Amino acid sequence: MNISMEISTLKGVGPKLSEKLNRCGIFTIYDLLLYFPRDYEFIRSDIDFNEIDGEEKQILSCRVIGYDRDIKTKTGKIITTIKFDYKGHIVVGKWFNQRYIKNSYRLNESYELVGKFKKVGNLLEVINPIIGCRDAKKSEIIPKYPLKGDLSDKIITKLINQILDEIVITDNLPEIMLEKYNMIGLDRAIREIHFPKDKNELDKALVRLKFQELFTYSMKLLLLKNNLRNKNGISFYWHKQLTNLKEALPFKLTEAQTKVVREILRNQKSNYPMNRLVQGDVGSGKTIVAIIAMFNVIKNGFQASLMAPTEILANQHYKETLKILEAFDVEVELLTGSTSLKEKKRIKERISTGEPIIVIGTHALIQEDVDFTNLGLVITDEQHRFGVEQRNKLINKGRRPDVLVMTATPIPRTLALYMYSDLDVSIIDKLPPGRKKIATKFYSENDRMLAYKLALDEIRKGRQVYIVCPLIEENEKMELNSVEKLYEELKDDVFKNVSIEILHGKMKPKEKDELINLFKEDKIKVIISTTVIEVGVNVPNASMMIIENSERFGLAQLHQLRGRVGRGEYESYCILIGNAKNQKTKKRMEIMVESTDGFYISEQDLKLRGAGEMFGIRQSGDIGLVLADIYEDIDILKCARYEANNLISSNEIEHVKLCREISNSIERYSRYICFN
Q: Which residues bind Mg ion (CB under 5 A)?
A: 536
Helix (H, G, I), strand (E, B) or coil at 157: helix
Of 322, 315, 257, the C-alpha closest to 295 is: 322
Residue 347's binding partner among ligand ADP, Mg ion, none (Cβ under 5 to 8 angstroms by kind) is none
Residue 383's binding partner among Mg ion, ligand ADP, none (Cβ under 5 to 8 angstroms by kind) is none
Q: Alpha carbon of 643 to those of 178, 185, 218: distances in Å?
A: 11, 17, 9
Residue 257's binding partner among Mg ion, ligand ADP, none (Cβ under 5 to 8 angstroms by kind) is ligand ADP
Residue 624's binding partner among Mg ion, ligand ADP, none (Cβ under 5 to 8 angstroms by kind) is none
Tell me if 24 sits within 8 A of 155, measured CB to CB: no
Residue 409's binding partner among Mg ion, ligand ADP, none (Cβ under 5 to 8 angstroms by kind) is none
| Residue 282 or 591 with smaller CB distance to ligand ADP | 282
Residue 288's binding partner among ligand ADP, Mg ion, none (Cβ under 5 to 8 angstroms by kind) is ligand ADP
Helix (H, G, I), strand (E, B) or coil at 537: coil
Residue 310: φ, ψ to 5° = -135, 160
Cα–Cα distance between 288 and 321 in angstroms, integer?
8
| Residue 288 or 330 with smaller CB distance to Mg ion | 288
Q: Give the residue closest to ligand ADP by C-beta.
A: 285
| Residue 91 or 423 with smaller CB distance to Mg ion | 423
| Residue 112 or 311 with smaller CB distance to ligand ADP | 311
Q: Give the residue closest to Mg ion by C-beta.
A: 536
- Residue 619 Cβ vs ligand ADP, minimum distance, rounded to whole Å: 23
User: Which sign, positive or negative, has the C-alpha torsion 13, 19, 25, 28?
Assistant: positive
Residue 283's binding partner among Mg ion, ligand ADP, none (Cβ under 5 to 8 angstroms by kind) is ligand ADP
Give, for 408, the enclosing helix (H) or strand (E). none
| Residue 88 or 250 with smaller CB distance to Mg ion | 250
Amino acid at 458: E
Residue 556's binding partner among Mg ion, ligand ADP, none (Cβ under 5 to 8 angstroms by kind) is none
- Interface ranges with ligand ADP (CB under 6 A): 251-254, 257, 280, 282-288, 408, 432, 536, 538, 567
- Residue 382 Cβ vs Mg ion, minimum distance, rounded to whole Å: 7
DSSP-derived pairing of the beta strands 439-444 and 573-578: parallel
Of 363, 374, 286, the C-alpha closest to 598 is: 286
Rg (CA), the chain: 30
- Residue 600 Cβ vs ligand ADP, minimum distance, rounded to whole Å: 17
Helix (H, G, I), strand (E, B) or coil at 480: helix
- Residue 243 Cβ vs Mg ion, minimum distance, rounded to whole Å: 25
User: Which sign, positive or negative, has the C-alpha torsion 376, 382, 386, 387?
Assistant: positive
- Residue 304 Cβ vs ligand ADP, minimum distance, rounded to whole Å: 17
CA angle 131, 136, 140 (to 5 degrees): 65
| Residue 13 or 313 with smaller CB distance to ligand ADP | 313
Of 93, 77, 152, the C-alpha closest to 128 is: 93
Amino acid at 504: H
- Residue 535 Cβ vs Mg ion, minimum distance, rounded to whole Å: 8
Residue 575's binding partner among Mg ion, ligand ADP, none (Cβ under 5 to 8 angstroms by kind) is none
| Residue 291 or 490 with smaller CB distance to ligand ADP | 291
Tell me if 376 sits within 8 A of 235, measured CB to CB: no
Residue 642's binding partner among ligand ADP, Mg ion, none (Cβ under 5 to 8 angstroms by kind) is none
Helix (H, G, I), strand (E, B) or coil at 355: coil
Residue 282's binding partner among ligand ADP, Mg ion, none (Cβ under 5 to 8 angstroms by kind) is ligand ADP
Cα–Cα distance between 217 and 240 in angstroms, integer?
42
- Residue 259 Cβ vs Mg ion, minimum distance, rounded to whole Å: 18
- Residue 560 Cβ vs ligand ADP, minimum distance, rounded to whole Å: 9
**DSSP collapsed to 3 states, 434-472:** CCCCCEEEEEEHHHHHHHHHHHHHHHHCCCEEEEECCCC
Of 429, 441, 414, the C-alpha closest to 598 is: 429
Residue 284's binding partner among ligand ADP, Mg ion, none (Cβ under 5 to 8 angstroms by kind) is ligand ADP
- Residue 377 Cβ vs ligand ADP, minimum distance, rounded to whole Å: 17
- Residue 537 Cβ vs Mg ion, minimum distance, rounded to whole Å: 9
- Residue 414: count of CB within 10 angstroms of its CB: 10
Residue 309's binding partner among ligand ADP, Mg ion, none (Cβ under 5 to 8 angstroms by kind) is none
- Residue 481 Cβ vs ligand ADP, minimum distance, rounded to whole Å: 31
| Residue 196 or 283 with smaller CB distance to ligand ADP | 283
| Residue 317 or 525 with smaller CB distance to Mg ion | 317
| Residue 212 or 560 with smaller CB distance to Mg ion | 560
| Residue 429 or 479 with smaller CB distance to ligand ADP | 429
- Residue 672 Cβ vs ligand ADP, minimum distance, rounded to whole Å: 33
Q: Alpha carbon of 273 to those of 21, 291, 424: distances in Å?
A: 42, 18, 11
| Residue 18 or 541 with smaller CB distance to ligand ADP | 541
Cα–Cα distance between 288 and 431 in angstroms, integer?
13
| Residue 254 or 572 with smaller CB distance to ligand ADP | 254
- Residue 469 Cβ vs ligand ADP, minimum distance, rounded to whole Å: 22
Tell me if 672 sits within 8 A of 30, measured CB to CB: no
| Residue 253 or 634 with smaller CB distance to ligand ADP | 253
CB-based contacts of 514, cutoff 8 Å, min separation 6: none
- Residue 282 Cβ vs ligand ADP, minimum distance, rounded to whole Å: 4
CB-based contacts of 652, cutoff 8 Å, min separation 6: none
Helix, strand, coil tally for the chain in percent (to 5): 45, 20, 35
- Residue 429: count of CB within 10 angstroms of its CB: 18
Cα–Cα distance between 195 and 157 in angstroms, integer?
9
Residue 112: φ, ψ to 5° = -85, 100
Residue 566's binding partner among Mg ion, ligand ADP, none (Cβ under 5 to 8 angstroms by kind) is none
The single-letter DSSP state of residue 428 is E
- Residue 517: count of CB within 10 angstroms of its CB: 14
DSSP-derived pairing of the beta strands 424-428 and 439-444: unpaired
